[in-house]
Chains A and B, each alone.
Chain A
């Protein structure tokens, strides 16, 4: 099972995660007697980068209309900031005593903290993106719910005008999301559900047309036509609900890579 939930998160965090693991091993092997180098300059570079990140993060929090992001992001920013302070403290301690064991521990703790904090930030953002996609999926569900009250061609035309751009957006965004996921099974489910939605949509519209023609001519079969239409609308609804469910799944487990 992949550790990182999306390919973007994986590409950003994996190299650093690997390096932190290697350094922890190195430190455990060379516990005594090796003086640490002067790390003031690289630590200061990290501090500056963190300060920029925190500034951008705070601006994002202030301008966002996503209440969950506004709630979750500050803690992640604080984690990164706190970890950066640990690195600064460790660097200062090592200047005084290059053999300091507690300084080395702070370095490792600070590095891990930055990794955890940036991971939390990326996850926070990723979840916000998923919520946007789900909002669009729910708009499609809202339209599907009114399919049964469409009884004239004019209404059907309007229905189609409203539904089509919404469906196209869902198709684009879910398709893009599927490509980002690292979990193969989730990807396959999204692909399958999306294919079903694309197949069912024109058939649903057709069934709605048939229903409208039948009731316009006052002929028999209106009930069966309505049942058929409702069945197709329900199938599409089920597929969209499955997409929403899978979008919210995650393979991310903080303890796994900790």
Chain B
């Protein structure tokens, strides 16, 4: 469960960074 939650939060972190990149890319 620990690994599961840490993995999820890491994945969420990556997800947020990717969304940010999308916004920055399309905005330029």
Which residues of A approach B to under 8 Å, CB–CB? 8, 12-13, 15-16, 19-20, 22-23, 26-27, 30, 34, 36-37, 39, 42-43, 45-46, 49-50, 52-53, 56-57, 60, 63, 80, 87, 107, 111, 114-115, 118, 121-122, 125, 128-129
The interface residues of chain B lying within 8 Å CB-to-CB of A128 are: 26
Choose from A22, A43, A114 the contact partner of B4 (Cβ within 8 Å).
A22
Supposing A22-B4, A34-B1, A45-B9 touch, asked if A12 and B15 sit within 8 A by C-beta, the answer is yes
Contact with A along B6-18 (1 / 0, CB 8 A): 1111111101111
The interface residues of chain A lying within 8 Å CB-to-CB of B15 are: 12-13, 15-16, 114-115, 118
Choose from A27, A34, A37, A111 the contact partner of B6 (Cβ within 8 Å).
A37
Decide if B13 touches A53 in the complex (CB within 8 Å).
Answer: no
The interface residues of chain A lying within 8 Å CB-to-CB of B1 are: 26-27, 30, 34, 36-37
The number of residues on chain B lying at the interface, defined by a beta carbon within 8 Å of a beta carbon of chain A, is: 23
Choose from B2, B16, B22 the contact partner of A50 (Cβ within 8 Å).
B16
By secondary structure, the A interface counts as: helix
Choose from B2, B8, B26 the contact partner of A111 (Cβ within 8 Å).
B8
Which residues of B approach A to under 8 Å, CB–CB? 1-2, 4-13, 15-20, 22-24, 26-27
Choose from B5, B12, B17 the contact partner of A37 (Cβ within 8 Å).
B5
By secondary structure, the B interface counts as: helix
The interface residues of chain B lying within 8 Å CB-to-CB of A122 are: 19, 22
Choose from A8, A37, A114, A115 the contact partner of B22 (Cβ within 8 Å).
A8
What are 20 A-B pairs with beta-carbon distances under 8 A? Answer: A16-B8, A16-B15, A19-B8, A23-B4, A30-B1, A36-B2, A37-B1, A37-B6, A39-B6, A42-B5, A42-B9, A42-B13, A52-B16, A53-B20, A56-B24, A57-B23, A63-B27, A118-B16, A118-B19, A121-B23
The interface residues of chain A lying within 8 Å CB-to-CB of B27 are: 60, 63
Min CB distance A46 to B, Å, is 5
For the A-B complex with A42-B5, A56-B23, A111-B12 known, give 16 more contacts whose Cβ atoms are closer than 8 Å.
A12-B19, A12-B22, A13-B15, A16-B8, A16-B11, A19-B7, A19-B8, A36-B1, A42-B9, A42-B10, A42-B13, A53-B19, A56-B20, A115-B15, A118-B19, A122-B19
